[in-house]
Amino acid sequence: MNKNEFSKALGELIRDELLSGNLVKIDGLGAFSRRHIPAEEETQPDGTILLHPPKDTIRFEPDEETL
Amino acid sequence: MKKITADIIAKTLSEKLNIHEDNIREQLSELASKVSSLEEGFDIKVEGIGIFRKTGGKLQYVPDPVLDMEINYEFAGQQPITLVEGKGSFFPTGGKTEDQKDKGRDQNEFINVSPSDEDSSDDYDALLNEFKGDEPGDSDDESIDVIPEDKPKLKRFDFTDEPEPLTSQDDIPKKKKTEEKPDTEDEIRRTISAIEGDDDAEAEDTPVSKKPDEFDHEIEEIGEVIPPEKLKQIDDEDLFDDEDEKASDELAVEFTTLLKKMRDKADKASELESKEPKAEEKDDEDETADDIPEKPVAKVEKPEPPKEEPKPVFEEIERPKFEPESKPKTADDDFKPKRKSEETEHHVFRQPKVESRPKREEPEPIVASGGSGSGDDNLPRLGARTETEKPSGSRSSDRKQADNSTIGIMIVILLLVFGLGAGLYFSGLLDSEDTEETEITEQPVDELPPLPDPVDIETPVMDDPEPEPEPTPTPTPEPDFAFGMTGTFDTSVSEFYGIIVASVTSESSALSLRNELRDEGFRAHHYSLRLPEAGVRWRVVVGQFENREDAIEAAASLPAPYRNNYFTTTIRL
């Protein structure tokens, strides 16, 4: 097994767990979690009001040991 | 939230990759050591996970785009929606820093507003001057001129609209007056000129300026003209231009005189019939065939000349006021034309007798002895003729004459009526009546309130209690389907906007959520779709909307778990 296959398999695992709403913690690296950003309005200087759609993003919290 | 530790990851990956868990742990520890040992300004890219970078002593993570998209799967493809359009910006929206915005703003501001720009300043000044030039010309002039101009306009408007019927109605009788007056006036003037003998009266174009009183006075004068004295004068002077008027006047007087004469004749005949015996019926039979030729025969057979009686007849002729003792004349004499005056009657009765004399009186010696020829001898001839008539006018002849006289009376009455009517008509009496009628017709026109009339006409229309039938709104066929967030989901609609509240991998969880929402009254539906990276996903959608804005507005009323965790998209079933 090469490193690429390992990293790819690790990425899929993290994705599935995040989509399932779980938190993935790797010791010595940090914790991956899913954060939901709700829809929000943005008022631009010209008066235009934009409505941004909600968004799910990956939140990474590095482990204290890595810092 | 479930916490996935390194042990779980090692176990899962070892099963997935068929690698021993220890190898997995070694790989994970190696990755952590590399990231932790990352120097400032360097980064490590892990395939399928992302990039780790250390900046400012802090470790930053940039997720892999594919992973990021997959995590944001539910809301992938959503773009910002412009809720309110701005009035224009000096810089493009987004993608600029504050410095760039300021720079762009300054540049744009200078371009648009800077007075140093000659073109813009010229245009601005030109517009300003034009505006200033227009202001006094338009607004001030209007403020000054509008008031005096509007008043006449209003007057004109009022004059043309409302008072028009007044003026028109006022004008109509005036026109009638002007049209009718000349006719009556011409006739009056004509008759006056005929009376006065002024032949040039018609040539005078005197305008119609006489008052009604003058017309009445003239009419009265016309009424006075009819009496015999003036008619006599008229006949003598022959001033009538119109022969019909003249004839009518003559007839009117003739028939009055004839009527009295015939009555006298009838009385006379009745008296003679009562005195003389009835043996003279033969003469009656002979005379009934023809009146004129047989009269001389009767005269020859009975030359008894009651000469005394014809004289009163002649006297009667001379006197318009007939005496009851007047001797009846023959029917021929009755139907002969007569004049209104005594002299005219005298001439009328004289001439026909002169004409009939040679036929009737040639065999008679009396006629020869009576004299012949000259007009001066007419009176004695008449007297002689009356003498001959008397013998011929026996009782039977007198009776026949009486019968004829009755017929003549009837005819005379008819002619009299006709003559009187014609006389009245031509004498102007009827015209005066016409003028009176016109005056009468004018009065109601004047009395008519011209203004109130249209108002009265209009007001009932306006005050008509019966309201006009309001146009019944045609019932627009309501579609069976109505957009909304509640109710039953209509699968017949192929395309609509919906609020996606969940996107899960298992159908059971999506179905349970859908049923839960339906129990709450929402129009929920679930469907599946395959994504290239995420595979099959089950989505739960709430509501069916015509456009995205309606869906967003409706999403605000969703319950708390879904209110801030939804996205809208076009759904095609």
- Give pLDDT tens digits for B231-264: 555 555 544 445 555 666 677 677 778 888 888 8
Question: How close is the nearest chain A Cα to the Cα of B14, in Å?
Answer: 10
- Indicate the residue of B13, B82, B89 with minimum beta-carbon distance to A13: B13
Q: Is A9 in contact with B13 (Cβ distance < 8 A)?
A: yes
Whether residue B437 has pLDDT greater than 60: no
pTM: 0.30
The Cα B445–Cα B349 span in angstroms is 54
Residue A4: per-residue pLDDT:
79
Instruction: Say which range, B129-133, B389-393, B532-536, B566-570, has the weakest mean pLDDT.
Output: B389-393
Comparing CA positions, the residue from B361, B349, B352 lying closest to residue B387 is B361
Task: Quickly tell me which residue has 């009187």 as its tokens.
Answer: B420
State whether residue A26 is helix, strand or coil. strand
Residue A31: per-residue pLDDT:
92
Whether residue B408 has pLDDT greater than 80: yes
List chain A residues with CB under 8 Å of B101.
Answer: 45
Quick check: B301 and B392 in contact, CB under 8 A? yes
The Cα B255–Cα B193 span in angstroms is 27
- Put simply, the chain B residues between 496 and 525 with a CB less than 8 A from any chain A CB are 505
Q: What is the ipTM of this complex?
A: 0.90
Q: What is the CA radius of gyration of chain A?
A: 17
B61 touches A at CB < 8 Å: yes
Average pLDDT over residues B355-372: 42
Question: Can you name the residues that pair with A56 across neighbouring β-strands?
Answer: A36
B3 touches A at CB < 8 Å: yes
pLDDT in tens, B90-112: 555 444 444 444 443 333 333 33
Strands A55-62 and A30-37, by their bridges, are antiparallel
DSSP 8-state class, residue B561 = H
B23 touches A at CB < 8 Å: yes
Whether residue B370 has pLDDT greater than 80: no
Domain boundaries, chain B: 6-75, 120-159, 251-427, 495-572
The Cα B386–Cα B112 span in angstroms is 134
Give the DSSP per-residue string, B26-82. HHHHHHHHHHHTPPTT-EEEETTTEEEEEETTEEEEEE-HHHHHHHTGGGTT---EE
Average pLDDT over residues B120-142: 46
What's the CATH number for B495-572? 3.30.70.1070
* Residues in Cβ contact with A22 at an 8 Å cutoff, skipping those fewer than 6 apart: B1, B2, B3, B4
State whether residue B466 is helix, strand or coil. coil
Q: Is A25 in contact with B5 (Cβ distance < 8 A)?
A: yes
Whether residue B61 has pLDDT greater than 80: yes
Average pLDDT over residues A43-56: 89
Whether residue B42 has pLDDT greater than 70: yes
CA angle B148, B151, B153 (to 5 degrees): 110
Whether residue B211 has pLDDT greater than 60: no
Domains delineated in chain A: 3-62 (4.10.520.10)
Burial of residue B442 (number of CB atoms within 10 Å: 0-12, 13-18, 19+) = middle
Task: Quickly tell me which residue has 């996107």 as its tokens.
Answer: B503
Instruction: Say which range, A52-66, B134-148, B495-509, B524-538, has the weakest mean pLDDT.
Output: B134-148
Quick check: A42 and B61 in contact, CB under 8 A? no
Token readout for A19 is 């989509």
Task: Quickly tell me which residue has 């006065």 as its tokens.
Answer: B196
Q: What is the CA radius of gyration of chain B?
A: 65
* Residues in Cβ contact with B291 at an 8 Å cutoff, skipping those fewer than 6 apart: B330, B331, B332, B400, B404
Token readout for B446 is 């004047």
Residue B189: per-residue pLDDT:
63
Residue A19, CB half-sphere, CA atoms under 13 Å: how many? 24
pLDDT in tens, B300-317: 444 444 444 444 444 444
How many C-beta neighbours within 10 Å does residue B343 have?
Answer: 13
